[in-house]
Amino acid sequence: MTQTSQPGREFHSGRGKKTFDRIPGGFYLVGALVILFEVVTLGAVGLALAVGDPSDDGASPDKESRPVEVTYIATGDHPSVNLTVGEANGNHESHRVVILPYRKTVELAAGADFYLDVRSREDQEGGTLTCTVLVGGKVVQQVHSTPDSSSATCAGSTADAPQRGIPVPTLTPGASPLPEERRLTGTVKVPDYPGEGSPVIGTVTDSSLEYAELGGTWDRSKTLDPVFDGFTRKQEGRQRALVKSTQVDEDIMAAAGGTGELRGVAGAVMDERRRYEYPRDQAILVDVASQPLKVDGHDAWLLVSEIHFHKRGVPSTMDLNAVLVVDTGRVRPSVLWVVLPETNKKLWPDLNTLVASVQVR
């Protein structure tokens, strides 16, 4: 018996109408909108989870942009140093001369790099130097100079963790600030320094000049090689006291304008002595006397200056320097240079003794 297929059965309500025909057409649109809203909402949530909430990692934009307090500290046994401080990206501030101890507090962006370089000045190498950087009052880096290095450099990030067990350096008072430069333009007589001074044990003849040879704590006068020493005669005393003499060389005459005007020559000699005998770019000249003289009937000029300086290992921070330039009748004048340290003021009357003793020979 062959079975024939029956037509698909339709579902009817009791009234004989199709079930879906009973749903109003507007509901289809509402349902589609609801489904679309759910899809968009779920997609946004998924994207947020994938990207992450900035507030979850504890570093919101507001927190990242908030500046932090950074303190730079430089210490050591040098009276003064060359120092460079700032950010490691090249925004540095260089100081040619900084008196130790040094401390400066600035604000840097969170995560910024810091930089502090402490370096010994020319002819003051050796000793100890230390750089220290604090972030938020805590030490994050401290570096000491090594025996074969005359510098200490701290470089890192403000985000670096504090280092435990490293105390903040004690900032004991260092060298006093140097005074302002002062050069005399008028005439001021040299003072008569009180005291007995050193005894005179003989005379020295050099470069057409004759002057007293001092005794007491002074060594005997010696000849010098002018090629290496720049002078032809020298007498040394304690604590860096010096008496030297020679004929003014051509370079100094040129620096004075080449006219032979004695006041200008005396100033040029003083400037040269500061440049070669004291820490470069640090020694400060303060003139205390500048006057014309007659030496055995010859024109002369006396310039007396305080040279203030800071030099590692030297207890004196000021030397009394005197330059006496005498026109002896030769092509170039002769000069007597005297150095008397502040730490040995009992020798200062020797300046008056020496100047009064000068004769032309």
* Residues paired with residue 113 on neighbouring β-strands, in sequence order: 157
**Which of the residues in the chain have pLDDT under 70?**
1-65, 88-90
pLDDT score at 48: 47
Q: In what order do the strands lie in the sheet with 242-247?
A: 222-223, 233-236, 242-247, 334-341, 318-326, 298-308, 284-295
pLDDT, one tens digit per residue, over 16-53 is 444 445 545 554 554 445 455 554 454 544 444 444 44
pLDDT score at 29: 52
pLDDT score at 61: 52
pLDDT score at 127: 83
- φ/ψ of 80, rounded to 5, equals -150, 160
- Tokens representing 127 are 């000793």
pLDDT score at 1: 44
Q: In this structure, are strands 209-214 and 200-206 parallel, antiparallel, or unpaired?
A: antiparallel
- Tokens representing 352 are 């008056």
The single residue listed with the structure tokens 């004690």 is: 170
* Residues paired with residue 295 on neighbouring β-strands, in sequence order: 298
pLDDT, one tens digit per residue, over 151-163 is 999 999 999 999 9
**DSSP single-letter state for residue 81:** E
pLDDT score at 172: 85
Q: In this structure, are strands 334-341 and 318-326 parallel, antiparallel, or unpaired?
A: antiparallel
| Alpha-carbon gap, residue 239 to 275, rounded angstroms | 20
